[in-house]
């Protein structure tokens, strides 16, 4: 398939953070050159921490005012809560590297979850409409992989997994007995490029089953309609 871009690429690396940052930079520069902006959705959890710091350090020359950061999901906590994905990104990237606030679209974890989801959905719709798009299209969405095969806050057996219309929803997660906010498969699958970031300690059997398409795992249901997926797997 010369010249044709493969839908899914698996990269196993001993230089996890460096290789992830190189991919982020490549995507950022391509998007900025082609469309004058770079739309990236950040993943939460712990795996991305060193990647965000290294990205900020390496990408100092990027025009941050032309980068739009969104979040694939958020815990329903205030932005300064240690559980907040926004706080993690603020500490590792936004604050240390002076990312302008207007470049960051934060999920309001501190307000009523359905209201927060609707607010975010409306904000994305305004931007999409301004660009003549029917649905907001990310250049790059970063996703993690939970030990139960969840990604973003799409957990096995939860209602958000079945959403076919809404782009952002609140999702009750019984295992945590708490609410989450999450992008849905319709929005994730509009991305130009999905990058799964899977650190070295993750369960290898799970990874192989997800890569084989086992749809009991939500991560296996991420399938960009007109885009591609890269799995960056740390050794
Ligand atoms: C979250 C994340 C979640 C995360 C995975 C992996 O809010 O927790 O968005 O989907 O990416 O749970 O988390 P770790 O990177 O901590 O293993």
Burial bucket for residue 31 (CB in 10 Å: 0-12, 13-18, 19+): buried
Q: Kindly report the CATH number that applies to the domain delimited by 9-234.
A: 3.40.50.1360
Q: Is the minimum distance from the CB of 73 to ligand 1 under 6 angstroms?
A: yes
Gap from CA of 146 to ligand 1 centroid (Å): 6
Q: What is the mean pLDDT of each run of 10 residues along the chain (235 residues)?
A: 72 97 98 98 98 96 97 98 98 97 98 98 98 97 98 98 98 98 98 97 96 97 97 96
What's the pLDDT score for residue 44? 98
Q: Is the minimum distance from the CB of 186 to ligand 1 under 6 angstroms?
A: no
H-state helical runs in the chain:
16-35, 49-58, 85-89, 113-130, 185-188, 204-211
Q: Where are the chain's structural domains?
A: 9-234
What's the pLDDT score for residue 1? 45
Q: How far apart are CA 87 and CA 158, in angstroms?
A: 25
Gap from CA of 34 to ligand 1 centroid (Å): 31
Q: How far apart are CA 141 and CA 148, in angstroms?
A: 20
């Amino acid at each position: 398939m010369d010249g044709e871009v493969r839908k899914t690429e698996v990269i196993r690396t001993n230089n996890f953070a460096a290789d992830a940052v190189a991919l982020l930079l490549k995507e950022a520069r391509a998007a900025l050159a082609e469309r004058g902006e770079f739309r990236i959705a950040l993943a939460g959890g712990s795996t991305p921490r060193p990647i965000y710091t290294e990205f900020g350090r390496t990408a100092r020359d990027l025009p941050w005012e032309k980068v739009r950061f969104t979040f694939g999901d958020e815990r329903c906590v205030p932005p300064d809560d240690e559980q907040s994905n926004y706080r993690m990104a603020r500490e590792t990237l936004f604050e240390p590297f002076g990312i302008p606030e207007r470049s960051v679209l934060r999920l309001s974890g501190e307000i009523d979850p359905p209201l927060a989801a609707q607010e975010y959905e409306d904000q994305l719709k305004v931007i999409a409409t301004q660009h003549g798009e029917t649905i907001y299209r990310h250049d790059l969405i970063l996703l993690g992989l939970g030990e139960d095969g969840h990604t973003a806050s799409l957990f096995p057996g939860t209602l958000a997994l079945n959403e076919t219309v809404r782009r952002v929803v609140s999702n009750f997660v019984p295992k945590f007995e708490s609410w989450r906010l999450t992008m849905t498969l319709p929005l994730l699958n509009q991305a130009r490029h999905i990058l799964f970031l899977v650190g070295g300690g993750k369960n290898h059997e799970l990874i192989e089953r997800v890569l084989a398409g086992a749809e009991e795992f939500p991560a296996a249901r991420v399938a960009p309609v007109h885009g591609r997926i890269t799995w960056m797997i740390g050794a």
